[in-house]
Structure 1
């Protein structure tokens, strides 16, 4: 269960304050894989970061009884002077994973990321692609009820993208996914329902195709901007 309760989020810009969401209330369908669509700047990635607990609303809250991952592929939370291995160990500690469990996570991340000896080099020496590989590997190595995916399949070569899709297919057997992407085939393949964001509205659609149609049309049906269900 994920609910947005009176959620408001804005950012300060040189042109003034940009309000992404204002007093939004929404209940996400339970047990469904969800795809999120919206134009650039609609707040897709911001919403994922808020649900993943790495960004905060101005007011309101996210209510859930599930273990939600941080957005897969998000590399901004790594400590640059620490090695990949040290960063993974630190995150394991935050989630209470120790001993044999931590070694299993370490092996999974190292094998999936395929960054060789860089695993024991400081993160600040990584390319953006290497950071994303490490971040994705760490995301899937720890078990969550809901995984958040933010355009991670756009990173890396075809082989890495195939690995990402394969691991998502495997994890879907026991978990659900909320995916932000512009790739329509990817969303149709992995998501049962869709969410369309536009001008602060959170429109929950009955199918992924409905959300895609709204996205392609470039406008959502007029509705109360404070409520979506």
Structure 2
């Protein structure tokens, strides 16, 4: 039997809301990701799915429960929140290469980041705080495709379709497919075709808990039969919170053309 690479045990995760309130995102979730599995995530609430990815990669803490990681696990790609805005793109790339990169391949991997980001001439050597959000998102995607991990965790912010630049889209797709080939995957994305292309298993999160797990086709069918109505209701409730709390609104480069 294949070994367990990530295991969540009775994981609970909350988010803080204005006026001292909080909201549950994960409630008593137990989940194991084994070597070689390729698991998609369906959810009635995007933030619950994102919380699962963040806790599985240990970029966000649990309120209670435990997560055990027994492999080299990526952050939820393509986000990379720890980059320094006072440093240039090249300096940040060098720092990340020193942490996550392959020894002896510094020049090649940094050049690959610059190629995939497809920034305007000279921008790679400018401070990142001078970049717009789309340039930053493109850099995040490029970084996510260069380094090697045992487990790849992919968030809904991954810009799978970029028809405005078909040649660059083909380059990004080829880099993604080469990077995740033969690896263990945990994916959450709005594009179900994207999920189905890479995953043969899936879980469904409903009411902050794992309500269903099984093959990808069965989980997809269960999700659409049981979750559609509650998904609409939860999105409406979430929009009400965001409308009253501008500080909670985050950019969504997955909904626009990055290139």
The answer to whether the aligner puts 1:212 opposite 2:220 as a matched pair is: yes
Pairwise CA distance, 1:29: 4.2
**How big is each residue's C-alpha offset from its partner over 1:70-97, in whole Å with a ceiling of 9 and x where there is no partner?**
1112043221111111111222233375
Aligned to 1:186: 194
The answer to whether the aligner puts 1:48 opposite 2:35 as a matched pair is: no
Mean Cα deviation higher: 119-128 or 35-44: 35-44
For residues 144 and 129 of structure 2, the distance between their equivalents in structure 1, rounded to whole angstroms, comes to 20
Matched residue count:
219
CA contact (8 A) 2:7 2:69 kept: yes
Mean Cα deviation higher: 27-36 or 62-71: 27-36
Change (3 A) 1:163 1:33: farther
Aligned to 2:90: 85
For residues 170 and 96 of structure 1, the distance between their equivalents in structure 2, rounded to whole angstroms, comes to 16
The answer to whether the aligner puts 1:106 opposite 2:110 as a matched pair is: yes
CA contact (8 A) 1:33 1:176 kept: yes
CA contact (8 A) 2:8 2:56 kept: no
- Structure 1 unaligned regions, length at least 5: 221-229
Aligned to 1:171: 179
SS of 2:175's equivalent in the other structure is helix
CA RMSD across the alignment:
2.3
Runs (4+) of structure 1 exceeding 6 A deviation are none
For residues 5 and 142 of structure 1, the distance between their equivalents in structure 2, rounded to whole angstroms, comes to 28
**How big is each residue's C-alpha offset from its partner over 1:84-117, in whole Å with a ceiling of 9 and x where there is no partner?**
111112222333755x322222111111111142
Pairwise CA distance, 1:171: 2.2
**How big is each residue's C-alpha offset from its partner over 1:114-146, in whole Å with a ceiling of 9 and x where there is no partner?**
114211111112222221221122122111011
Q: How does 1:88-167 map to 2 (within 5 A)?
A: 88-95=93-100, 100-115=104-119, 116-154=121-159, 157-158=162-163, 159=166, 160-167=168-175
Query: TM-score, normalization: structure 1?
Result: 0.85
- Structure 2 unaligned regions, length at least 5: 229-259
For residues 169 and 101 of structure 2, the distance between their equivalents in structure 1, rounded to whole angstroms, comes to 30
Structure of greater relative contact order (alpha carbons < 8 Å, 6+ residues apart): 1
CA contact (8 A) 1:153 1:164 kept: no
Pairwise CA distance, 1:155: 6.7
Query: TM-score, normalization: structure 2?
Result: 0.76
2:6 pairs, out of 2, 13, 36, with: 2
